[in-house]
Amino acid sequence: DAKTTQPPSMDCAEGRAANLPCNHSTISGNEYVYWYRQIHSQGPQYIIHGLKNNETNEMASLIITEDRKSSTLILPHATLRDTAVYYCIVRFDNAGNMLTFGGGTRLMVKP
């Protein structure tokens, strides 16, 4: 699986949009971009994933650049409960493939 690079930490004001970047310049054509988050002392939680097109669900939006070498996870209105470590992972979308976690971005949402 391709490696990803994320900033180690970010701050965001409560109620504002949190934009978390991820670089995956070695991504191959059939690798997906996945985002998970881990709130302190809990297991990772799936957020969203995409291949080429931008995706949106009830939790977040995922913007993937046209060359697919980077992406941004957007939390439109961050709350204190969004404080967590956010992991960007690229992987082939086939059964049986384990997830390889990098360092992630520690997002701190402040009042």
Partner 1 sequence: GAVVSQHPSWVICKSGTSVKIECRSLDFQATTMFWYRQFPKQSLMLMATSNEGSKATYEQGVEKDKFLINHASLTLSTLTVTSAHPEDSSFYICSALDRGGEQFFGPGTRLTVL
68: left (phi over 0), alpha (psi -120 to 50) or beta: left
Q: Binding of partner 1 at residue 97 (CB under 8 A)?
A: yes
Among 25, 28, 56, 100, binds partner 1 (CB under 8 A): 100
> Could you tell me if 66 and 56 are in contact, meaning their C-beta atoms sit under 8 angstroms apart?
no
Torsion angle (degrees, nearest 10) of CA 55, 60, 65, 68: -70
- Decide: helix, strand or coil at residue 88: strand
Q: Which is nearer to partner 1, 14 or 91 (CB)?
A: 91
Q: Which of 14, 55, 59, 102 binds partner 1 (CB under 8 A)?
A: 102
Radius of gyration of the chain (CA): 13
Give me the 30-59 binding string for partner 1, x by CB under 8 A, dash otherwise: --------x--xxxxxx-------------
> Considering the complex, what minimum distance in angstroms separates the CB of residue 46 from partner 1?
7
Q: Is 5 in the site for partner 1 (CB under 8 A)?
A: no
